[in-house]
Amino acid sequence: MANDRILLTPGPLTTSLQTKLAMLRDWGSWDVEFNDVTARVRKSLLKILHGEDSHVVVPLQGSGTFSIEAAVATLVPANGHVLVLDNGAYCKRAAKLTTLMGRRCTLMPFSDDEAVSPAALREKLIADSSISDVVLIHCETGAGVLNPLQAIADICAEFNKGLIVDAMSSFAAIEIDARKTRFDALIAASGKCLEGAPGMGFVFIRKAVLDGCAGRSQSLAMDLHDQYVYMEKTGQWRFTPPTHVVVALAEAISQFEAEGGQPARLARYTSNYETLVRGMTALGFKPFLDPTIQAPIIVTFHAPAHPNYDFKRFYEAAKARGFILYPGKLTQVETFRVGCIGAITSVEIEQAVHAVSLALQDLGMPSGSPAAPA
């Protein structure tokens, strides 16, 4: 385990040894001990969000995208009209899954190097009263943009529109407080900033809209209302749960709480981000985003302009030294991404920067400087 490569990605992430060890035991999916773990995890998740009085939390098997799809299918009526605020690849994915489920969907485009605009949303809602729900990606990790959740939530509340928030890469790191931010659904996952293993999503649903979701989903497995009702009645999952992932998440949450919760996790990730940008800039690399909209989750860098640069060779050179980088998601310019999250500190980030410097040497590149702007 000591020789595991460090994952500098938006998830799955590097996990702690304690979290790995939690997965060594087998559990009966209907056993009272496992049901107690599930209940404890659900209670802890609501506490992180300060949502005990206003929301319920429904866990779901599968990747985070499964839970986004389940949330849209459960929350949005068949005749609903979803507006997706689009400034990246994961926004477009949300729009695609919405359309595939038969819901009317409109994309409201923004550049992938800017945050979505609350003012533009207000104008759109005034112009089109048919919109029933808004989808916001809180941290669009296609580039790393942190979108203005509170301002968007305030406008949706003002116009009485449903708000579905993909908080996959922000929950437990960036502050989200259900007592002051109104949303109908918010989705996150085990393998992100809680630093658990991948394989389980969870959806916070506002109690005020929960009853209206009954019978709305066209999917058996992804019906969050049925999942919630069954769990409340029996304490069990409707279908085979990812037992090892659930107990790993319980252990990861214990570590999260011992570290100091969301403020402490944000502080560590911010330190990782600052160390990364400082080190990479010294090597000539240039971040893609303006720091005012950059989340301390994953950083997109312009690809070097040197003719020897090839991402696959660059990736393999870093991997050989113990670090896994991530390809870019942008279409306008070539980029690559480096994550700041997971069970790592600024020490590992410094080591990663050193690995990148050695990778540059392997490729015969004096620096990571990008091409000059046209």
Decide if 60 contacts 202 (C-beta within 8 A). yes
- pLDDT digit string, tens, across residues 236-285: 999 999 999 999 999 999 999 999 999 999 999 999 999 999 999 999 99
Number of other residues whose CB lies within 10 A of the CB of residue 101: 19
Pick the closest to residue 149 from 198, 190, 123, 187 (CA basis).
Answer: 187
Pick the closest to residue 277 from 200, 368, 373 (CA basis).
Answer: 368
Q: Is the pLDDT of residue 127 over 60?
A: yes
Backbone phi, psi, residue 92, to 5°: -65, -35
- pLDDT digit string, tens, across residues 282-334: 999 999 999 999 999 999 999 999 999 999 999 999 999 999 999 998 867 89
Decide if 191 contacts 176 (C-beta within 8 A). no
Q: Give the residue carrying structure tokens 């640069």.
A: 309
- pLDDT digit string, tens, across residues 160-192: 999 999 999 999 999 999 999 999 999 999 999
pTM over 0.75, yes/no: yes
Q: Which residues of 292-309 are buried (b: 16+ CB within 10 A; e: fewer)?
A: ebbbbbbbbbbbbebeeb
- pLDDT digit string, tens, across residues 201-246: 999 999 999 999 999 999 999 999 999 999 999 999 999 999 999 9
Reduced to 3 states, what is the DSSP secondary structure of residue 139?
Answer: strand
| Residue 3: pLDDT band with limits 50, 70, 90 | low
Tokens of 312: 């696959």
SS3 sequence of 322-353: CEECEECCCCCCCEEEEECCCCCCHHHHHHHH
Please give the mean pLDDT across all residues of the chain.
96
Pick the closest to residue 187 from 179, 196, 172, 356 (CA basis).
Answer: 172
Decide if 332 contacts 286 (C-beta within 8 A). no
Reduced to 3 states, what is the DSSP secondary structure of residue 314?
Answer: helix
What domains, with CATH codes, occur in the chain? 17-258 (3.40.640.10), 261-362 (3.90.1150.10)
Reduced to 3 states, what is the DSSP secondary structure of residue 360?
Answer: helix
Sequence-ordered list of residues with C-beta below 8 angstroms from that of 9, at least 6 positions apart, any chain: 298, 324, 325, 326, 337, 339
Q: Quote the percentage of the chain above a pLDDT of 70.
A: 98
- Euclidean distance between CA atoms 209 and 54, whole angstroms: 10
Average pLDDT over residues 48-58: 98
Decide if 198 contacts 189 (C-beta within 8 A). yes
Of 22 and 10, more confident = 22
Average pLDDT over residues 13-20: 97
Q: Distance of CA 46 to CAs 36, 163, 176, Å?
A: 16, 18, 11
Q: Is the pLDDT of residue 7 over 70?
A: yes
What pLDDT is stored for residue 1 in this prediction?
Answer: 41
Q: Is the pLDDT of residue 372 over 80?
A: no
